[in-house]
Amino acid sequence: MGQWLEPSRRSDVPPFMVMDVMAAAARIEAAGGHVIHMEVGQPAAGAPSTAIAAAHAALEAGRIDYTSALGIPSLRERIARHYRDAYGCDVSPDRIVVTTGSSGGFILAFLSMFEPGDRVAVTVPGYPPYRHILTALGCEPVLIETTNETRHALTGEALLAAHRKAPLKGVLVGSPANPTGTMMSREALAGLMEAAEDAGIRFISDEIYHGLDYAFPAVTAAALSEHALVINSFSKYFCMTGWRVGWMVVPEILVRPIERLQQNLSISVPSLSQIAAEAAFDGAAEMEAIKHGYQENRRILIEGLPKAGLAKFLPADGAFYLYADVSDFTSDSFEFAKQMLEQARVAATPGLDFDPVHGRSFIRFSYARSPGEMREAVDRIAHWLK
Ligand SMILES: Cc1ncc(COP(=O)(O)O)c(C=O)c1O
């Protein structure tokens, strides 16, 4: 093999361990076993019927062309209206950028805000691609641990302590969070944003799980500062994972740089998905019914898991995740997840994906499927742990 075929060092990002759990579950199913899937962070339901009807109509009507790089204007306006309706917050459509899922948003956000070598704080436990995308783009992710004492919210104090050790250029937080399911209160978010802004640290808020809040209403960073960059998506609340469409609210000064980046990187976000996404807002009643299903799932797990033996977990405030401490049973959550899958036929994700240090003590359950499956999962776990 010639040296010239060596992959770049920046492409050497870690894989997602959950994929191994999914592959093991698929093998059990291929052999006729019945697995309850609580490993994947994906809604069981499909896109709202309004979105599907709009996509059908667009296909019937003719060509699917490129759109402008920032997105279809009527979709950008509809998203701006969503900020008024959902949060009572005025956001100009000019500051809305449509993206290829929130994943596409991270790339545009990081490229437009940071230089190679910049240090950007992210929390652990946390969504792994935050740090892996930063690394691939030549930035340095700085991991800050969150703890039970603050409901796993990053505090201004912890941020500034890291900044004093070596200066940070940015910070990214998510609320409701993956994998913890915890949320930041308005005070916690506002306090952190103020600390970041005073220290000149750029703020990114991943709001992909907004709409799926149970403990208290989620607050958008867009309502607290025009300098924050907000990332959101149609994947979770609107159940449109495979459509690959999301959006950002960006500080005015970044609109044109992001437009230029998107023109060059992808020309535009898939048109059909943008058309469907705009119509998804008309499917709110359907989506609220799905949310009520998650609420019921959450209730079943919060009541059932302690009786089944898993009594320690973080406050399940939002999203569709419950992060359980399994340290009473194991010091290797990967092995625990493997055995739970093989013996109880319940698939969940080992915490190591989200936290290289304490993840050995945790398992993430996703509760985006039916209440019947949640009850069955609790029964199976209870039986297995006896
Ligand atoms: C916290 C968080 N952010 C972003 C994403 C990416 O989602 P998408 O690119 O589908 O919008 C996910 C997906 O699971 C997630 O959990």
pLDDT digits (tens, 9 = 90+) for 315-352: 999 999 999 999 999 999 999 999 999 999 999 999 99
Chain segment 147-200, per-residue pLDDT in tens:
888 888 999 999 999 999 999 999 999 999 999 999 999 999 999 999 999 999
Please identify, by atom number, the ligand 1 atom nearest to the C-alpha of residue 104: 9
C-alpha distances in Å from residue 301, one per residue of 178, 298, 341, 366: 17, 5, 18, 10
Average pLDDT over residues 258-269: 97
Checking if the pLDDT of 128 tops 80, the result is: yes
| CB-ligand 1 contact for 235 (6 Å cutoff) | yes
- Residue 72 CA to ligand 1 center (angstroms) comes to 22
| CB-ligand 1 contact for 178 (6 Å cutoff) | yes
**Rounded-to-integer distance, Cα 180 and Cα 371, Å:** 20
- Residue 1 CA to ligand 1 center (angstroms) comes to 37
Return mean pLDDT, the chain: 95
Checking if the pLDDT of 121 tops 60, the result is: yes
| CB-ligand 1 contact for 101 (6 Å cutoff) | yes
Task: Tell the residue nearest (CA) to atom 1 of ligand 1.
Answer: 178
Average pLDDT over residues 220-226: 98
- Residue 208 CA to ligand 1 center (angstroms) comes to 6
Same fold, 9-46+285-385 and 49-282: yes
Helix (H, G, I), strand (E, B) or coil at 157: helix
| CB-ligand 1 contact for 48 (6 Å cutoff) | no
Q: How confident is the model at residue 385 (pLDDT cuts 50, 70, 90)?
A: very high
Q: How confident is the model at residue 16 (pLDDT cuts 50, 70, 90)?
A: confident
For residue 315, whether the previous peptide bond is cis, meaning omega lies within 30 degrees of 0, is no
Give residue 2's pLDDT: 57
Chain segment 279-308, per-residue pLDDT in tens:
999 999 999 999 999 999 999 999 999 999
| CB-ligand 1 contact for 41 (6 Å cutoff) | yes
Checking if the pLDDT of 1 tops 60, the result is: no
| CB-ligand 1 contact for 208 (6 Å cutoff) | yes
For residue 183, the number of C-alpha atoms closer than 13 Å in the C-beta half-sphere is 24
Average pLDDT over residues 40-62: 94
Task: Tell the residue nearest (CA) to atom 16 of ligand 1.
Answer: 178
Checking if the pLDDT of 374 tops 90, the result is: yes
CATH of 9-46+285-385, picked from 1.20.120.1200, 3.40.50.300, 3.90.1150.10, 3.40.640.10, is: 3.40.640.10
Give residue 386's pLDDT: 86
CB–CB of 228/205 below 8 Å?
A: yes
User: Class for domain 49-282, per CATH?
Assistant: alpha beta
Chain segment 61-70, per-residue pLDDT in tens:
988 999 999 9
Tell which residue, 104, 107, 74, has the closest CA to residue 275.
74
CB–CB of 179/323 below 8 Å?
A: yes
- Sequence-separated (6 or more) residues with CB below 8 Å from residue 254: 112, 113, 229
| CB-ligand 1 contact for 174 (6 Å cutoff) | yes
**Rounded-to-integer distance, Cα 212 and Cα 362, Å:** 22
- Residue 145 CA to ligand 1 center (angstroms) comes to 20
- Residue 103 CA to ligand 1 center (angstroms) comes to 6
Checking if the pLDDT of 3 tops 80, the result is: no
- Residue 207 CA to ligand 1 center (angstroms) comes to 9
Give residue 21's pLDDT: 86
Give residue 14's pLDDT: 81
Checking if the pLDDT of 31 tops 90, the result is: yes
| CB-ligand 1 contact for 123 (6 Å cutoff) | no
Give residue 150's pLDDT: 85
Q: What are the structural domain ranges in the chain?
A: 9-46+285-385, 49-282
Average pLDDT over residues 261-280: 98
